[in-house]
Amino acid sequence: MHPPSNLSTRHSKATAVFRVTAGNFLEQFDFFLFGVYTTQIANVFFPATSEFASLMMTFAVFGASFLMRPLGAIVLGAYIDDVGHRNGLIVTLSIMASGTILVAFVPGYATIGLLAPALVLLGRLLQGFSAGAELGGYRCISPSWPRPAKKASSRAGSPRASRSRLSPPRASASRSTNGWAHRPSP
């Protein structure tokens, strides 16, 4: 059986990096959009007699999502430790998507009354809860991507390579590994 070519390994790694980056970008872009369109969101979901009060209620909902991040990191972090980084990241992305879909499809205050701002708040809380563990999940899963196997010749300039060439193999090293116990013999 032949090992995967270096080109296919690079392609799969680039694809994985692109997916993680795209997911993180979309999450941050959603937070950015909520901040940029605050005045429009305030008018649709938080109408008040004072425009200032409406804007402050919108900013309070925006800030509430950031307050949920530590709680999400604690709860989802423990869950991710139990189920693994890949499955945990899928769960956090699902929670984030649920919050985003909820915020995107909630009708305005004129249609459903006080339920509209409550549902927007719930969506933002879900987003903040999942964001608390998402970034840590990205950082934990990226080092675990498969790396291509390196040959001993590629380490020719390393101190370990020069030490193994200049000094005789240690008595504890088996003859088949030739002093390189971390790789199988050819």
User: Per residue in 131-172, pLDDT tens?
Assistant: 888 766 555 555 555 555 554 444 455 455 444 444 455 544
Q: Rounded to an integer, what distance in angstroms lies between the CA atom of residue 91 and that of residue 84?
A: 11
pLDDT reported for residue 72: 92
How many C-beta atoms surround the C-beta of residue 135 within 10 A?
Answer: 15
Say whether pLDDT at 175 is over 80: no
Q: Is the dihedral of CA 61, 66, 72, 74 positive or negative?
A: negative
pLDDT reported for residue 74: 92
Which range is least confidently modeled, 51-65, 82-96, 107-121, 149-163?
A: 149-163
Which range is least confidently modeled, 41-50, 96-105, 112-121, 129-138?
A: 129-138
Say whether pLDDT at 24 is over 50: yes
Q: Average pLDDT for residues 103-128, to the nearest whole number?
A: 94
Q: Rounded to an integer, what distance in angstroms lies between the CA atom of residue 34 and that of residue 53?
A: 17
Q: Average pLDDT for residues 32-55, to the nearest whole number?
A: 90
Closest CA to 83 of 40, 133, 120: 133
Q: Which residue has the higher pLDDT, 158 or 66?
A: 66
- Amino acid, res. 173: A
Q: Which residue has the higher pLDDT, 44 or 167?
A: 44
pLDDT reported for residue 139: 57
Say whether pLDDT at 61 is over 50: yes
Most distant CA atoms of the chain, gap in Å: 85
Q: Average pLDDT for residues 88-108, to the nearest whole number?
A: 90
pLDDT reported for residue 42: 94
pLDDT reported for residue 95: 92
pLDDT reported for residue 34: 84
pLDDT reported for residue 3: 57
Please give the model's pTM, rounded to 2 decimal places: 0.65
pLDDT reported for residue 26: 73
Closest CA to 45 of 36, 53, 37, 54: 54
Question: E strands within 25-129?
Answer: none
